Structure 1
Amino acid sequence: MEEEKGRREAHPLLRGGRRQGSYSHGFSSREMQSLSAICGTFIPSIPVEKRHVGSREDPPSKTIEAFYLASGSQHPIPDETNENSKNPTWNAIGYSTDNDEKPSKTQRERPLQKGIIDTANQTESSLLTSLAQKGLKVTKDPSCSVYKLECDVVVVGSGSGGGVAAAVLASSGHKVVILEKGNYFTPEDYSLLEAPSMDQMYESGGILSTLDGKVMLLAGSTVGGGSAVNWSACIKTPRPILKQWAEGNKLPLFGSPDYLSAMDTICKRMGVVENCTEEGFQNQVLRKGCESLGLEVEYVPRNSSEHHYCGSCCYGCKTGEKQGTDATWLVDAVDHGAVILTGCKAERFILENNKHSKKKEKKCLGVVARSLNKNITKRLQILSKITISACGSLLTPPLMISSGLKNPNIGKNLHLHPVLMVWGYFPDSISDLRGKIFEGGIITSLHKVVADDSRVRAVIEAPALGPASFSTLFPWVSGLQMKESMMKYGRTVHLFPLIRDRGSGEVKEEGRIKYRLDRLDKENIREGLRRALRILVAAGAVEVGTHRSDGQRIKCKGMREEDFEEFLDGVTVEGGVRSREEHCNLYCSAHQMGSCKMGSIEEGGVDENGESWEAEGLFVCDGSVLPSALGVNPMITIQSIAYCLSKRMAESLRS
């Protein structure tokens, strides 16, 4: 009953459940028969006596029997999908969204509520009233059907870059408006249900890939952006990277005391801690495997308490302990008068010929945006002294290009930190490793794969994988094998090597992303995969494998050293699904950067101040300004850069 109560209290958009009302898919009966046959092939009904995986009960429980007998061709699949609080599949695979931790403090008021205008719940008349109540000057332009707003600064995006920039500028006494196309949720709103959470809090519902289908991309799309759904890792910009950016890229900011001080300021505001009192299952495995091999393993700083044991922060932190921008910098911004328009998407920057400067042809006067609420038909024309694009590496370049900017560097140099995963199965009988893969902090440990010249080739970490993501990424060999893999879900540890990619891609149009790895990237990923497999075996896995399409795996019991080495020699880094190779891989990316990089006019999208080379008054404060790939989780770097750039903007407004 407590579980059902918790679900009912979640935000309506995050509750899941059965589709309300009628739904027409538009397929003919023959098309539906074909689709049912395909779904039934991938998820067939299997007599439970054919199972090979032992269960906790003998004979199997009704939920396990129902799980094996279920078919993808049965209602409600594929007519509709259903994810409710009584899903029997979760019981069969041992999954639960229960969270024993309660919110660290009960909040009488949503922290950002006094600054939020949720355009999804407004009419045109009430929107005007709400804007005026927030202290904004609004006029109606009858000639072009727009509402004109005036402010000092408009920020497009509320994530790591936008949140920090908004706070710094609002705290400096400037009227700030923040545009966010996603919704605002608080810890009390989160349901921890994978499907609705991904749909509402990630770009394209968490289903976004490169054009060739090779890389699946995760990017936050909610108030707080990626900082609201990331895995809490708070790693400062590595010293070698700072040296390269300062000297090699000729960007003095990264060699300055100001930048080092900014990183300290960011970590302090976000409550970053260095230690973890209790690690979750996957990180226990990573640590044990490294220690067994005599390898160094490090704790990862996090923006939560050292006791934080939440494995569901990727769906929003229900305990409220994770300190993303929605709980820190945006609170500071709102406390200083900033206004956040949610459900509001920027369409283009307002550019005019610059009559007062020979250096830059254009001058930015603000942004044109629209509410995603169809009841609000008029555009918002937000006029400002400074305009900041902070909508991330996948959306900032398309917005700049569609606004008329011609700099060929915009949209290029996109880096993705592409990863491949390996897995190891640890039966419940391995008693010194407790828990399930969805329990405990997501990233609390890491291991660095270091070359002979001390260069870091890869960083090995553990991911968050809900059951739907697991079933999508895990290689399908047969219907029986997939069901048995799902039965092992809770005790199948995944690790991945994160590389600092030299290959790059481009994003010139929204949703159209191109990317190519280079040879060294593939070598580093392969070395990282091999190291991760050794770690899993050393930790006691009874079976290990990769995500290669043929289901590459090896059983560890009685395995000879030469057999394992032969297996490792066969671990390869294949192309994507359209590579026409014998086998393929599906890469993943949770970090996008560099697509509007800071640099000279010959190679950069913006200058060292984050200002467009073409348009005066237009700045970028998100991951797209990074001069190259970073090689570690980028949140602290993005926020530190935004802090430094927005400090400079505040100074320019004062002068």
Structure 2
Amino acid sequence: MRKPFNPLQGAILKALTEGLFHGADMVISSDQVVANVQRQFAMIEGKKPGEIGLILYVLWLLLGGPLFLLLGPEWRARRIEKRLQRTQNDMMQDLARIRSIIYAGYYGHWEGVSEDDNRANPVLAQIGYTLPAHRERGSGEVPVTAFPGRDLTYSDILEPDQIPQSAGVIVIGSGAGGAVAAATLAGHGHDVLIIEAGPHYPSSRITHEERRMTAHLFVDGGIQTSRDHDIVVFQGRCIGGSTVINNGICLRVKQNGLTHPHADDVFADWAALGAPVDEARFVRSYEAVEARLGVEPAHPQSGRHNGPHLLRGWADHAAGTGDEKDAQSPATWFNKNYGPRSIGADCAYCGYCNTGCPYGRKQGMAQSYLLDARKNGAIIMADAEVRQIIWKHDDPQTAKGVEVRLRDGTRRFIEAGKGVVVAAGALASSRILERSGVANTGTEISLNIACPVVALMPEGAPLRAWDEDQMTTYVDRGDFLLESHFQPPMSMSTLMPGWFGDHARRMSNYNRLASAGVLVPADRRGRLKKGSLSFKLRDDVELPLLRRALSALSKVHFAAGAEEVYPAVARGLALKPGDDIDAFFNRVIREADDVTLSSSHPHGGNGRNADPEKGVVDLDCRVHGTRNVLVTDASVFSSCIRVNAQLTTMAMAHYATARDPFAVSA
């Protein structure tokens, strides 16, 4: 196995491990943790392993250089506490995020290949965790078994020697926007080629080895960040895109009974910005997607503990605030594209949605729209990155085709007879368009900012929130959302606040934990700079809203009976019943560095607008100034949509292609 970290970097990793676990009971050695980290990063393609290697050197020097390696774990722990845990220096706070890699190396420990190989996994035993294959399911419960027969097969993916020289319509990206557009265009009779930068991972190839799946299915192995490292941005990079590694949540931007009555009207906001949609037609696109995917509410059984925990806590909390907005907040079960139950494809609630469903029970794009596209003659390329659109020399407004870089580094030109559809995701689509000479791309990017809050529940009957669907319930407060969520061991350890023995103690109580997160809109705050996302939260808008949302969720946990609450603040502090929660968040969150932030929903960058001076694409999602180039992913959203983006991305792709955009040139 290739080792991405050299001997000195390995020694630094070992010293960090021994310092971070000082005073904690380790059931695998620090050498094994380093080996686990080496293995995980060996699977990650791109520049991230090199970046982490450089960070290790910087950390080593700032923590004492040779002394950090020579002196014992107790000294290292004191040094880490002083320089990393208690720091308020931005650079040191960024460097402190290395702790998540160490914890992933410990709690992501995997033995052999299969789940059976891990029956005696000492780390999983230490926290009382049982892998899905070994869980007992009673009468009436959904078995943890595969639902076969609705996956793309390997024969559906082109071999390198099968790559065509031309296609009618080239669709870049196979996720929510690309797959729906490809299926709809193929249904119109177009000869469609779908090009995906990532690999093909059918359900049968997906496992519960978290480190392997994050390395292979996510951009940058799941550690892509904004330029200043304040926000982790999770995006899929595989056939099916982010629909492979998301939770299947399907929320419209507004819907009676499911959206707060005082929430911003996204359609009205778009219209005010110069980007109206035909709302009735957009709703029909929502309905078409929901019907195809069998969207229905999550079954209460699938989130039987952690889901109701949020709903009960919110009901008790809202009853005591006297705030009309709290009283009007929808609090219910997510609509999802798992199943449908009518054909026996219910979610098996294994808890691993974010590393792919190995059971074929989620109707991601590879189990739905890509199949539809194939039935109508579309063909699919994997491991092929579109670098740029090539324009006709005699007609620079018309795309001639695309330049593709294959896995072996070679480049190919593929001609587009009718046109090109860009749907590679908000960030990648912006990069492709910029390299293609399109002006003003990668601007006004919005994020839904997520931040977790974990709660320790009383001793007694184990909560076992890990034996559930990861996300099942939500509260729409109007200005923010609260969402139940729980993670498998490796992912949970990276989100769990706390240092040293505190972190180990919290993980040892894995069976007693409940968890949820806030979702806060950050509207048009980002832009790409040299291909990387620059994103800043405002001191007078997003940060106060984040504090208020985290405060509300902490109070909800206590209302539901929590003994301690662990908000994701950098210093790892805990809240107790009776604490002044509002004052706590006002004190400890001064800037984004002070808290763990992530986003799975980047959108914007190539916004729709009738005015070419204000948007990259027109109201039909055609790139301004071009004849045959469309963008059909979340990058065309003109402002922050506030809720999970999957369904609206699919609806926008359907909206843009339901009326054949290439009919005139057909």
Correspondence for 1:106: 148
2:156, 2:379 within 8 Å by CA — same for their partners in 1?
yes
1:505, 1:516 within 8 Å by CA — same for their partners in 2?
yes
Q: What displacement does 1:364 show?
A: 1.1
Q: What displacement does 1:206 show?
A: 0.5
Q: Where does 1:165-244 land on structure 2 (aligned, <5 Å)? A: 165-238=181-254, 240-244=264-268
Correspondence for 2:543: 522
Q: What displacement does 1:174 show?
A: 0.8
Are residues 1:403 and 2:436 paired?
A: yes
* 1:105-127 Cα deviation digits (max 9, x unpaired): 333x85354431154xxxxxxx1
SS at match of 1:627: coil
* 1:361-397 Cα deviation digits (max 9, x unpaired): 53211111021135xx452423331101110011111
Are residues 1:258 and 2:278 paired?
A: no
Match of 2:6 among 16, 26, 30: 26
Higher mean alpha-carbon deviation, 617-626 vs 522-531, is at 522-531
Q: TM-score, normalised by structure 2?
A: 0.78
* 1:139-190 Cα deviation digits (max 9, x unpaired): xxxxxxxxxx121100110000000000001111111000012122222222
Q: Where does 1:69-468 land on structure 2 (aligned, <5 Å)? A: 70-71=29-30, 76=35, 83-84=110-111, 85-86=117-118, 87-99=121-133, 101-103=143-145, 105-107=147-149, 110-119=151-160, 127=161, 130-131=162-163, 138=164, 149-238=165-254, 240-245=264-269, 247-255=271-279, 257-278=280-301, 279-293=303-317, 294=319, 296-305=330-339, 307-310=346-349, 311-353=351-393, 355=395, 362-373=397-408, 377=410, 379-405=412-438, 407-408=439-440, 410-429=441-460, 431=461, 435-449=463-477, 456-468=478-490
Correspondence for 1:12: none
SS at match of 1:261: helix
Distance change in 2, residues 1:111/1:102 (3 Å): farther
- The 2-side partners of 1:151 and 1:75 are apart by 47
Q: Where does 1:538-557 land on structure 2 (aligned, <5 Å)? A: 538-556=559-577
- Amino acid in the other structure paired with 1:620: V
- The 2-side partners of 1:44 and 1:570 are apart by 31
SS at match of 1:76: helix
1:397, 1:508 within 8 Å by CA — same for their partners in 2?
no
- The 2-side partners of 1:151 and 1:503 are apart by 35
Q: Which has the higher helix share?
A: 2
1:45, 1:70 within 8 Å by CA — same for their partners in 2?
no
- The 2-side partners of 1:596 and 1:654 are apart by 24
Q: TM-score, normalised by structure 1?
A: 0.79
Q: What displacement does 1:571 show?
A: 6.0
- The 2-side partners of 1:150 and 1:97 are apart by 46
- Amino acid in the other structure paired with 2:533: I
1:160, 1:225 within 8 Å by CA — same for their partners in 2?
yes
- Amino acid in the other structure paired with 1:106: P
2:267, 2:276 within 8 Å by CA — same for their partners in 1?
no
> Which structure 1 residue ranges, 5 or more long, are not aligned?
1-20, 49-65, 120-126, 132-137, 139-148, 356-360, 450-455, 578-583
1:282, 1:494 within 8 Å by CA — same for their partners in 2?
yes
Correspondence for 1:647: 658
SS at match of 2:398: strand
Correspondence for 2:59: none
Correspondence for 1:608: 619
Q: Where does 1:475-490 land on structure 2 (aligned, <5 Å)? A: 475-477=497-499, 479-490=500-511
2:486, 2:492 within 8 Å by CA — same for their partners in 1?
no
- The 2-side partners of 1:443 and 1:653 are apart by 44
SS at match of 1:531: helix
- The 1-side partners of 2:663 and 2:474 are apart by 41
- The 1-side partners of 2:37 and 2:431 are apart by 35
Q: What displacement does 1:298 show?
A: 1.6
- CA-atom RMSD, angstroms? 2.5
Are residues 1:592 and 2:612 paired?
A: no
Q: What displacement does 1:608 show?
A: 0.8
Higher mean alpha-carbon deviation, 231-240 vs 601-610, is at 231-240
Correspondence for 1:14: none
Identity of aligned residues (%): 21
Q: What displacement does 1:193 show?
A: 1.6
Q: What displacement does 1:459 show?
A: 0.6
2:567, 2:574 within 8 Å by CA — same for their partners in 1?
yes
- Amino acid in the other structure paired with 1:383: A
Correspondence for 1:44: 22
- The 2-side partners of 1:37 and 1:105 are apart by 45
SS at match of 1:502: strand
- The 2-side partners of 1:24 and 1:524 are apart by 40
- The 2-side partners of 1:152 and 1:73 are apart by 52
> Which structure 2 residue ranges, 5 or more long, are not aligned?
41-108, 112-116, 136-142, 256-263, 320-326
Q: What displacement does 1:96 show?
A: 3.2
Distance change in 2, residues 1:222/1:97 (3 Å): farther
* 1:548-583 Cα deviation digits (max 9, x unpaired): 122221233xx4xxx345665656533244xxxxxx
- Amino acid in the other structure paired with 1:373: D
- Amino acid in the other structure paired with 1:613: H
* 1:270-326 Cα deviation digits (max 9, x unpaired): 110135231243212101212333355122111123652422121112232211111
SS at match of 1:95: coil
Higher mean alpha-carbon deviation, 244-253 vs 611-620, is at 244-253
